[in-house]
Chain A
């Protein structure tokens, strides 16, 4: 239950065995390769890097990319809302890899997909063009004459435009205009409809205030004068499309083409649906090719000479016997060199924890893995995370619901390690929620009260027996408890810092940056407490003594890395405040105050719950449907509160762990150990039974 001990290895074999060796290591999945030339700089001029092409895999991946692009458009995978919340890796069986899509079959399917993709893209492009044309023609659809006829005359020019009624009246009075041009009003659809005279009259009656179409005609040589004249009367020219016949005919033509194109796209969709039958096989092939590409890339970190091939990497100490026996059996001529990693080396980290600790390891993974020379904090944050979560969520019924929901998810996701562990984390957090729900007297808020379930109901009796304090009635006491938990947690964090330092043999850090704070801080707490509560004089004396000893020690030691006595003492003095040094009184106050969120979040859960109870109860007196509405509002309200509160409880508990607790002793950021092998974030090869 700790950080696995890692060893550095170098394997040298004859060139002929290199390919087989890589395959073997890939199958074993216990070695992470590193850059061999970086490990053995002396070999730089002698050995060359393995040049491994990934073109073969990249080509297949590109083909699959095109196929998945088509599937996403026409046969997108249907996933439920809940399934969409967590992405899980593809679990693949060995048989699927053995009988998967081969090169020839992929090529056939790709050619088919490529052809369908071509048809689809061409149709989509044309659909876009046609729709743009239709949008352009739409305002002119009622134009009653063929567009091409307007430009047939050699001597006469015609111009269509829009004018307001007022401007039309002024144009009619303009004698100069009458000499230059002839014009008439165009009624939409006038020539297209039968009985057009009546239609035109109706149109004019109902559209008298709108801008009107005006068709002007003039001699070619009068073009400039006519334009000027029309412009002076507010004539806005309409650029006519370059089409033959009427706009309506063209629109009909384009609509016909659009229908054909859509039919063609639908045809592509049907064929893609058939292609989608192979979706899983495509996914398996994608996982395989990605893995092969990664293996080829890893191979580039190996080097070779004329006769020999060399690879370097890391291996867990516990996997070493397995590797040794395989090398002895299958590569007798290979030589294996095993070393301990250097003190400043950036060693990849692998954690091995018990199944009970594994859920909280999820949090450590989220924050970042511990550095190789430090220690795994997972076991040390179990108690406080569940404690924080329980107080923040604190409701017996919600706790039971969370336990049941988490258990259900665990049952459904046993094969997906990440989701399973997260569900297990919530399962334990649910038990904690139940405990604090009982202690703080919350069951669906206050639903057990007499006004909801009647006098003397069993739930009220039970809650009366188990509840210790109601934060709604005594918030100050609960606040003080939350702050006390915060102080203890900070002391715990400092103690873990000492543990980490002692583990590395750094006694100075353990004493000066750990123990001294564990002396001064309780002393400061006692001294400050005397301002609010009467404490015996002996306790105050102890507090003052602790504070003085701690302060003196810190002043003398916190500036130990500074040069000169004055600088050392000055730094030590300032470190008490907290700007420099390993901690500080202000930082301690800030960190401790942050735990007041435990009360705030706990109250949030309770108050929102009891608000829904109250709202539901207001509906209860309604005749006939009252009880139904009462139950309905309760169900909807509490489901809502459950999810919003579980989110708040998780995020804020996580924050207290990451910021206030980890801040005292933990620095994550190590690279995870990633051995050669099939498994990745996207796909996992199912182990043989």
Chain B
């Protein structure tokens, strides 16, 4: 493959990976928050004083969107897009694309289930407001795996884009 074409393909794949991570993460967060909000709205109609406690439960599934955003920004940052001088070999691009997809799926699924866990916690708080602390723990347990996915993504991006790593500009040039 021609050197420049290879770089273009690599770029496109890397951007697609970032897009998938951001898009799936945000979509999952949107759905998760909607699930929690529906449960909270029902409770607040009867017990408005619980607003503060429920707001935290509603906000929890929102973090996956940020994790996706961070994954995307890290791809842009470490591949040199933000500095305007970037080059990604096709194999690195493929790796970033698949990683972005994997992270995106993990974020999407965990956000939706975190929304369900938040809704369950909300119904617990509605019946027993003194259990707010424990109720907060259930959705936090689900989020663990979104955190693991984010961390894995950050480390993979670092390793893939480190100087001398697989298929970066120097190797393409050779």
Q: Which residue of B lies closest to A656 (CB)?
A: B140
Q: Which DSSP category, helix, strand, loop or mixed, fits chain B's interface? A: helix
Q: Does B70 contact A (CB under 8 A)?
A: yes
Q: Does B63 contact A (CB under 8 A)?
A: yes
Known: A366-B134, A648-B63. A601 touches B147 (CB 8 A): yes
**CB of A684, distance to nearest CB on chain B (Å):** 16
User: Which chain A residues border B132 with CB–CB below 8 Å?
Assistant: 366
| Those of B135-157 within 8 Å (CB) of chain A | 136-137, 140-141, 143-144, 147-148, 150-151, 154-155
Q: Does A611 contact B (CB under 8 A)?
A: yes
A600 touches B52 (CB 8 A): no
B74 touches A607 (CB 8 A): yes
State in angstroms the CA–CA spacing of A86 and B154 once bound together: 36
Quick check: which of B4-12, B13-21, B54-62 contacts chain A, the rest being far away?
Answer: B54-62
User: Which chain A residues border B82 with CB–CB below 8 Å?
Assistant: 614
Total interface residues on B, using CB and 8 Å? 35
State in angstroms the CA–CA spacing of A604 and B147 once bound together: 10
Known: A604-B67, A651-B140. A644 touches B52 (CB 8 A): no
Q: Does A217 contact B (CB under 8 A)?
A: no
User: Which chain B residues border A104 with CB–CB below 8 Å?
Assistant: none
Which range contains the number of A residues in contact with the other chain?
A: 35 or more
Q: Does A658 contact B (CB under 8 A)?
A: yes
**CB of A78, distance to nearest CB on chain B (Å):** 12
Known: A600-B147, A652-B140. A366 touches B133 (CB 8 A): yes
Q: Does A476 contact B (CB under 8 A)?
A: yes
State in angstroms the CA–CA spacing of A368 and B136 once bound together: 13
Scan A583-608; emit 1 where CB is below 8 A from any B CB, else 0.
00000000001101101110110011
In-complex Cβ contact of A659 among B50, B130, B141, B150 (8 A): B141
B154 touches A608 (CB 8 A): no
In-complex Cβ contact of B154 among A365, A475, A651 (8 A): A475
In-complex Cβ contact of A599 among B56, B143, B151 (8 A): B151
Q: Does B73 contact A (CB under 8 A)?
A: yes
User: Which chain A residues border B144 with CB–CB below 8 Å?
Assistant: 594, 597, 655
**Which residue, B60, B74, B140, has most C-beta atoms of chain A within 10 A?**
B140
Known: A366-B132, A597-B147, A614-B82. A654 touches B140 (CB 8 A): yes
Q: Does A439 contact B (CB under 8 A)?
A: no
User: Which chain B residues border A600 with CB–CB below 8 Å?
Assistant: 147-148, 150-151, 154
Q: Which residue of B lies closest to A597 (CB)?
A: B147
B66 touches A604 (CB 8 A): yes
User: Which chain A residues border B151 with CB–CB below 8 Å?
Assistant: 479, 596-597, 599-600, 603
User: Which chain B residues border A597 with CB–CB below 8 Å?
Assistant: 144, 147, 151
In-complex Cβ contact of B150 among A479, A604, A611 (8 A): A604
Q: Does B69 contact A (CB under 8 A)?
A: yes
In-complex Cβ contact of A607 among B59, B63, B73, B133 (8 A): B73
Q: Which residue of A lies closest to B49 (CB)?
A: A87
A85 touches B147 (CB 8 A): no
Q: Does A343 contact B (CB under 8 A)?
A: no
| Those of A473-512 within 8 Å (CB) of chain B | 475-476, 479
**Which residue, B50, B52, B130, has most C-beta atoms of chain A within 10 A?**
B52
In-complex Cβ contact of A365 among B50, B51, B133 (8 A): B133
Known: A86-B52, A87-B49, A659-B137. A475 touches B155 (CB 8 A): yes
User: Which chain A residues border B67 with CB–CB below 8 Å?
Assistant: 604
A655 touches B140 (CB 8 A): yes
**Which residue, B59, B82, B133, B148, has most C-beta atoms of chain A within 10 A?**
B133
User: Which chain B residues border A611 with CB–CB below 8 Å?
Assistant: 69, 73
A84 touches B51 (CB 8 A): yes
In-complex Cβ contact of A84 among B52, B73, B74 (8 A): B52
In-complex Cβ contact of A85 among B55, B137, B148 (8 A): B55
B56 touches A368 (CB 8 A): no
A479 touches B155 (CB 8 A): yes
Known: A366-B134, A604-B150, A644-B62. A85 touches B155 (CB 8 A): no
Q: Does A647 contact B (CB under 8 A)?
A: yes
Scan B99-140; emit 1 where CB is below 8 A from any A CB, else 0.
000000000000000000000000000000010111011001
| Those of A635-664 within 8 Å (CB) of chain B | 644, 647-648, 651-652, 654-655, 658-659
**CB of A480, distance to nearest CB on chain B (Å):** 12
| Those of B67-103 within 8 Å (CB) of chain A | 67, 69-70, 73-74, 82
Query: Chain B: residues with CB nearer than 8 A to chain A?
Result: 48-52, 55-56, 59-60, 62-63, 66-67, 69-70, 73-74, 82, 130, 132-134, 136-137, 140-141, 143-144, 147-148, 150-151, 154-155, 158
Query: Chain A: residues with CB nearer than 8 A to chain B?
Result: 84-87, 363, 365-368, 475-476, 479, 593-594, 596-597, 599-601, 603-604, 607-608, 611, 614, 644, 647-648, 651-652, 654-655, 658-659, 681
| Shortest Cβ-Cβ A-B pairs, 3 listed | A366-B133, A85-B52, A87-B49
Sample (25) of A-B pairs whose CB atoms are under 8 Å apart? A84-B52, A85-B51, A85-B55, A86-B52, A366-B134, A367-B133, A475-B155, A596-B147, A597-B144, A600-B148, A600-B154, A601-B147, A604-B63, A604-B66, A608-B66, A611-B73, A644-B59, A644-B62, A651-B56, A651-B140, A654-B133, A654-B136, A654-B140, A655-B144, A681-B130
